Amino acid sequence: MRLARWIWIGLCVAGASARSATGHRVLVVVPTPGAASDYSDFLDSLKARGLELEVRGAANASVALHGGDGARMYDHAVLLAPTAKRLGSLTAQSLVRFVDDGGNLLVTASSDASPMVRTLATQFGVTLEKRGSRMVDHVGASASGDAGTVVSARYAHVPAVLSQKLLASDAPPVHFEGVGLRAADIPLLVPVLSAPRTAYSVPVDDNAVSEAALDLVSVFQTRSNARVAVSGSTALFSDRLMRADGAGNRQFAADVSQWVLQEKSVLRASSLRHSLATGERPDHYRVGSDVVFELDLAEFSNNAWHTYTADDVQLELTMLDPYVRVTLNHTQAGGADLTTYRGDVRLPDRYGTFTFRINYKRPGLSNIDVRDVVGIRPPRHDEYPRFLSAAYPYYTSALALAVGFLALSAVWLWSAEPKQSSKTGSDVKSACDVKPATKAKSTSEEKSTEPKSKRKSKQKSS
């Protein structure tokens, strides 16, 4: 058995030797200094990966994560004393502060977990079952026949956390002894191991059975990329369960610890750059310009940075709301350990202060949130085009109106008037008829104005 242990450690050194991307100082808190031997396989695997461990007992009052100046004394913390009422000078608030400062935390629990451990778990969206509860499975019991040892192979499909060996269809199951977890429905929290469908949680002194679907191990990543893992079982990392026949505890503990201590699935963005399609980098871009955007991404694993290739890296051009969203194409131009992502962007027809932003969040991977603020200005008076292609119909209608007006004017000015025809005989006759009538009328009027004596004399002479 001891030979197999050292063979396994050697394989870890050969295949998974790596130091964390954020540091190698690890604080391990155990119930008593002598209890560290119960987790020797797990602790030796951490040392084999190049991490520097400092094992402390929970009753040691000098246990602290921050120095007198407020700086972090450790990069990571592993808590293997779930039932201890106190962990040195550590409190739930100090551990949360440690995570806020960028530290990584591995928390283990048990059926008799202390109130501090329960309070700490709730800070990361994990709620433990009632004190004294434990997971049992009478159907899928382990080979020992103990119903308190739950055997589960219900791994979450998160390649960034679990290796392909555990994601295969014939993956070895994990042996679990402890309390069930209830994970909140938040995007930062991912359950990586769930209880089998035949398992349930039951209190020690009660016959009530929890019918809700429970998780066994969950991982949490803050927006600042600090990582936390909460396991409902401390025995999962013990030598006793790691050495059980057919158990996948070794591989599972290695995968989870590598992820929590940021030995893998750590992304880094660098060399954010953008310019015009001509290669020029002005102080302000003009609306409608063609801009080339480039960014380098790398992934840390096996103690080195490697290329990271994905087809879902998107660039957004936002001003309160996104105006442009494009998917970047990846090339190998960044170097052997970098992947360059490139995208061609046509700036919107809107001027103001915009932000180039890549907000890349995927389960298990480090969050990438890169942004650069740029100004987009309207065209100057001498930069507008002489003719707008969109206005061609209006240009055509104006020209047609002018041509039509000139043609109508030409027709009106140069067209001849029709000649008047000569008078006919009937018109002459009617004119002659009118004149005697007028003369007779005037003669009668003259007669009416003459004296009666003269009229009588004229009648006699006639």
Average pLDDT of the segment spanning 280-306? 92
The per-residue pLDDT for 28 is 96
Residue 319 has pLDDT above 60, yes or no: yes
pLDDT at 325 over 80: yes
181-229, pLDDT tens digit by residue?
Answer: 999 999 999 999 999 988 888 886 655 566 567 999 999 999 999 999 9
Contact assessment for residue 249 and residue 236, using Cβ atoms and an 8 Å cutoff: yes
**9 band by pLDDT with thresholds 50, 70 and 90:** very low
pLDDT at 5 > cutoff 50: no
127 bridge partner residues: 182
Distance CA 356, CA 294 (A): 11
The pair of three-digit structure tokens given for residue 235, joined into one six-digit string: 């025995």
Residues β-bridged to residue 343: 293
- Average pLDDT of the residues in 287-310: 92
Q: What's the confidence (pLDDT) of residue 208? A: 59
pLDDT at residue number 65: 92
One-character DSSP codes across 78-111: EE--TT-S-BTTB-HHHHHHHHHTT-EEEEE--T
- Residue, of 95 and 460, whose pLDDT is higher: 95
Count the residues in the chain.
462
Please give the pLDDT value at position 145: 67
- Tens digits of per-residue pLDDT, 242-270? 999 889 999 999 999 999 999 999 999 98
Exposed / middle / buried, residue 53 (Cβ in 10 Å: 0-12, 13-18, 19+): middle
Check: CB of residue 18 under 8 Å from CB of residue 303: yes
| Better pLDDT: 284 or 436 | 284
Per-residue pLDDT tens digits for 405-437 = 999 999 988 886 776 665 555 554 554 454 454
Q: Which sign does the torsion angle of CA 454, 458, 459, 460 carry? A: positive
pLDDT of the residue at 146: 74
Q: How high is the mean pLDDT of the chain? A: 85
Provide the pLDDT for residue 11: 43
> In this structure, what token pair is assigned to residue 451?
């004296």
Q: Print burial letters for 412-436: b (CB count within 10 Å at least 16), e (below 16).
A: eeeeeeeeeeeeeeeeeeeeeeeee
Q: What whole-number distance in Å separates Cα of residue 254 and Cα of residue 177?
A: 18
Question: Once rounded to an integer, what is the mean pLDDT over residues 392-417?
Answer: 90
Of the chain, the end-to-end C-alpha distance in Å amounts to 179
User: What's the whole-number mean pLDDT along residues 358-365?
Assistant: 94
The neighbour count for residue 316, using CB atoms within 10 Å, is: 17
pLDDT band at 345 (very low <50, low <70, confident <90, very high): very high
Q: In 52-171, which ranges are E strands? A: 52-57, 76-79, 104-108, 126-128, 134-136, 150-152, 154-155
Question: Is the CB of residue 264 less than 8 Å from the CB of residue 255?
Answer: no
Q: What percent of the chain has pLDDT over 90?
A: 63
Average pLDDT estimate for 345-369:
94
Grouping H, G, I as helix, E, B as strand and the rest as coil, residue 122 is helix
pLDDT of residue 338: 87
Amino acid at 222: T
Mean pLDDT, rounded, for 348-363: 94
48-59 pLDDT tens trace: 999 999 999 998
